[in-house]
Amino acid sequence: MAVQLQQAIAVGTYILRQKLLGRKKFPLVLMLEPLFRCNLACPGCGKIQHPLEILKQYLSPEDCFKAVDECGAPVVSIPGGEPLLHPQIGEIVKGLVDRAKFVYLCTNGILLEEKLHLFEPSPYLTFSVHLDGLRETHDRCVDRTGVFDTAVKAIKTAKAKGFRVSTNTTVFEGTDPQEMREFLDFLNSLNTDGVMISPGYSYEWAPDQEHFLKREQTKALFRQILEPWKKGTKNWNFNHNPLFLDFLMGEKDYDCTPWGSPSYSVLGWQKPCYLLNEGYYQSYQELLNNTDWEKYGQKSGNPKCADCMVHCGYEPTAAMEALKIENTSRAITSLFR
């Protein structure tokens, strides 16, 4: 099973409730960034490019709980930076689990094994370990030798201790489709609780701006990568709605739902999403009410959005689509793959 049934039911119920209340814009996933500091300097990420005084800051547990309560999203993703560097990350996660939020703690895996004692296994907690390919490819992407082996060892340890573990992969220009298919086979062998895969977006602070995919490149590459899955010859355990994967392959034409995954950090509520640096609001309601959402998404004509097909913007769209009557059967079937 990709998305666990408990989460799928909770999120589906949440969406239906929002629609019954007449709300047209509501969040599905809160991206909660408790700090930007990291123990890696990946060339495709711009978080550690913040000034040193910002990198020294972190959200308190109370800050995190206030943002989560204010936003109300059923799922909370905790990226960074490296969240396991936060001195109170165990307390933060426990508070979110106690609120019955489905928490995905994103980590590069370097500190995961030594920090496991801070957490308790729960259907509400999943460690999402970032892996961008097999050993050589991944270590090149994170610019450090040995990280792949450390992360894989941590995954095996966490699984042995009863934790839910998924993986998160960013696909860049130049990716070899055959190697990526071999990588997906390898992830299946780890018996993880799902795989997330998404094209990289040209985050403007990232040091490497040369290897982000254009829109048509993304479709062509994902058609090659996912062809065996589409034909049913590979049963890769994706932690995605299958409609989102159809979108990546160019078989669906969706627009972005930028309010579906708001981002909150030490700087406030990022507008309009975590991929664009256009300032911050101090409250979620300000973000929702004051943002001119018509200016964002591929169909808006905004050149910054032209090539973006990242899951944070388009997975919420696919989730809404899946609840339409004509897609209900497929969405339910996907839960039991």
Identify the three-state secondary structure at position 238.
Answer: strand
Give the closest residue to 8 by CA, choosing from 325, 322, 327, 324. Answer: 322
Under a CB-based contact definition with an 8 Å cutoff, are residues 105 and 125 in contact? Answer: yes
pLDDT tens string for the chain (337 positions)? 456 889 989 999 999 999 999 999 999 999 999 999 998 888 767 676 788 999 999 999 999 999 999 999 999 999 988 999 999 999 999 999 999 999 999 999 999 999 999 999 999 999 999 999 999 999 999 999 999 999 999 999 999 999 999 999 999 888 999 999 999 999 999 999 999 999 977 555 544 445 458 899 999 999 999 999 999 999 999 999 899 999 999 999 999 999 999 999 999 999 998 888 899 999 999 999 999 999 999 899 999 898 999 989 999 999 989 887 444 444 444 444 4
Helix locations, the chain, DSSP H: 5-20, 52-55, 61-71, 89-98, 112-115, 135-142, 147-160, 177-189, 215-231, 242-248, 284-290, 311-322, 328-334
Q: Which CATH architecture has domain 5-334?
A: Alpha-Beta Barrel (3.20)
pTM of the model: 0.91
